[in-house]
Structure 1
Amino acid sequence: MNDYTTATPLSRHIYFRKPAETYRQYHRKELLQNYRKGREHAMEKTQEAIEALKEIIQKYDNIVFFGGAGVSTESGIPDFRSVDGLYHQQYDYPPETILSHTFYRRNPEEFYRFYRNKMLFPDARPNAAHLKLAELEKAGKLRAVITQNIDGLHQAAGSRTVLELHGSVLRNYCEKCGRFYGLDFIRNSTGVPVCEKCGGSVKPDVVLYEEGLNQKTINDAVHFIHDAEVLLIGGTSLAVYPAAGLIDYFSGAKLAVINKAPTPRDTHADLLIQAPIGEVFAQL
């Protein structure tokens, strides 16, 4: 008896000496080759989609952008739902509890401790996505940016027509007299920020859980989305309502979705790019 084994061949002319070990090596090599081929194919598809996006932007002049947390992650601001996001960190209370209207009223000092530590990113700077959107607006292509973010990076990049569905950390108001305060006032204060004029509590102009969205902002967003020829959705899982429901008002020519993970709107998209939005916009 020789030491050759007629194991099930991978092809008509391949047989193995010491089949178990050799087959595993061959299988690992085959898996690696298939992975590389799959990755190369995915990259080719992404490049084709980016070229298609360039053509859409070149063709149309009434474009609206609807974005979420993924737009700012490449600026160092974590996404709530990402692996490094707030939902995956340990606190005494869940983030959605701390960032609720009820918690703010009952535990304002604890709210501000969390808010200062986890919601403010003064060193964040606009990335390629923010900058490209501002460039498209200046070129007369983009009509509006509708964002779920509260970081103010679109304005920092130069965008003028920005609808902030969930408010902004850059705006803070005294709840008693309405006096305005900037970001530095909140950062440099301790405990609950107090108005220098009347002694009232100063509250961030951000939409907390249990609070409604600004009706004028909603109406303006509906108007822009309804009238748009192209709607670009980027950096959002479309999981937060009522903001995500605004997409229903779009009936234009082209819907493009750019997001690393799948979204509920992928099957409706004329163009789908599953990649970080900053990397995509850097190539436009």
Structure 2
Amino acid sequence: MQTQAVGTLRQLIETASDIVVLTGAGMSTESGIPDFRSDNGAWQDETLAEAMSDTYLHEQPHAFWQKFKQVFLREEFLSARPNPGHLALAALEAMGKRVRVFTQNVDGLHQQAGSSYVVELHGSIRRAVCPMCQQRYGLADMLAEPVPTCHWTNVKGAECGFVLHPDTVLFGQPVRQLSEAVLAAAHCDLFLVLGTSLLVDPVAELPNYALAAGHPVAVVNLEDTYIDGRAAAVVRGKIGEVLPLVVAGEG
């Protein structure tokens, strides 16, 4: 591990009281969740990727849920637990720092780890909503039926019955709370990029708002990113190995 880069990252975190964090797939892969965009990822199957779209959900809701469960509600997701990287971010918050997490992941592991300020830019696999009556449901409800439907009943005892929509952002739908992420990036002491190669817009542009406002950007990622040349610190390594060292004041 690059001792100098880790030391610089530690200093940046120590001196920052308001840290904005952007996390991507690399944060979750360390908990055993597959990266959809990797060479063997789900999105290499074009038919599967097309099925995870807003259009497919509306046109074929029953078939959609079969494929959605195949992609998102399989064992790797359901059994995943926060890794040391997630826990390190929660530890920073427990130390009194303001830590705002904006994640592209849909697994809910940041919240499980104890982070209190988490914005799920791509939604969550752990929630669903009825498109008709807006009744909300949790993961247990989604798993209880092959195709989850709304069981809300009106005063006459009639059941709603509509097929639920998952809370995840599907292809064809906009990223959520992007304006909040932009404002946070422009008003922080440190912008921390964890586990994302910054290849997909508009989220990939967020570090630029921090830099434009004069705030340092630090990157922990196994692969290169376009922002590396302008970052105050770049560490090539696993988040679950790097962050605990930094938070513990080592390295």
Query: What TM-score bracket applies, with the shorter chain setting the length?
Result: 0.7 to 0.9
Question: Structure 1 pair 184/50, CA: closer, same or farther in 2 (3 Å)?
Answer: same
Residue 252 of structure 1 deviates from its aligned partner by 3.5
Preserved contact between residue 227 and residue 252 of structure 1 (Cα < 8 Å) = no
Structure 1 residue 166: Cα displacement: 0.6
Whether 2:192 is the aligned partner of 1:239: answer no
Is it true that 1:101 corresponds to 2:61 in the alignment?
A: no
Please show how residues 88-237 of structure 1 align to structure 2 within 5 Å.
88=44, 91=45, 93-120=46-73, 121-190=77-146, 192-197=147-152, 198-214=160-176, 217-237=177-197
1:173 Cα deviation from its structure 2 partner? 0.6
TM-superposition CA deviations, 1:195-226 (whole Å, max 9, x none): 01111121111111111223xx2222122111
**1:144 counterpart SS class:** strand
Q: Which runs of 4+ in 1 moved over 3 A?
A: none
Structure having greater relative contact order (Cα 8 Å, sep ≥ 6): 2
Alignment of 1:62 with 2:18, yes or no, is yes
Residues 120-145 of structure 1: CA deviation (Å, up to 9, x unaligned) = 21110000111111111222223300
Structure 1: 5+ residue stretches without partners: 1-42
* Helix, strand or coil at the partner of 2:124: strand
Q: What is the CA–CA distance in structure 2 between the aligned matches of 1:270 and 1:174, rounded to whole Å? A: 45
Q: How many residues are treated as equivalent by the alignment?
A: 234
* Cα distance, 1:82–1:282 mapped onto 2, change above 3 Å: farther
Q: Which amino acid aligns with 1:262?
A: D
Matched residue, 2:242: 280
Identity of aligned residues (%): 41
Q: Distance in 2 between matches of 1:110 and 1:102?
A: 12
SS in 2 for 1:159: coil
Q: Runs of 5+ in structure 2 lacking a partner?
A: 153-159, 247-251
Equivalent pair of 2:25/2:104 in contact (CA under 8 Å)? yes
In the TM superposition, residue 148 of structure 1 has moved relative to its aligned partner by 0.6
Letter in 1 for 2:219: V
How far, CA to CA, are the matches of 1:143 and 1:130 in structure 2? Answer: 12
- Measured after TM superposition, the shift of residue 248 of structure 1 is 2.3
* Between 101-110 and 173-182, the greater mean CA deviation after superposition: 101-110
Q: Secondary structure at the match of 1:282?
A: helix
Deviation at 1:282, TM superposition (A): 2.8
Task: Tell me the CA shift for residue 161 of structure 1.
Answer: 0.6
CA–CA distance in structure 1, aligned partners of residues 199 and 62 of structure 2: 29
Between the aligned partners of 2:185 and 2:205, the Cα distance in structure 1 is 11
Q: How far does residue 119 in structure 1 lie from its aligned partner after superposition?
A: 0.9
Deviation at 1:253, TM superposition (A): 3.3
Which SS does the other structure have where 2:125 is aligned?
A: strand
Instruction: Note the C-alpha offset of 1:105.
Output: 1.7
| TM-score, L = length of structure 1 | 0.78
AA partner of residue 229 (structure 1): D
Q: TM-score, normalised by structure 2?
A: 0.88
Question: CA-to-partner distance for each residue in 1:80-125, whole Å, 9 max, x for gaps?
Answer: 122442234xx5x434312111121222223211211221211100
Which letter maps to 1:202? Answer: L
Higher-Rg structure is 1
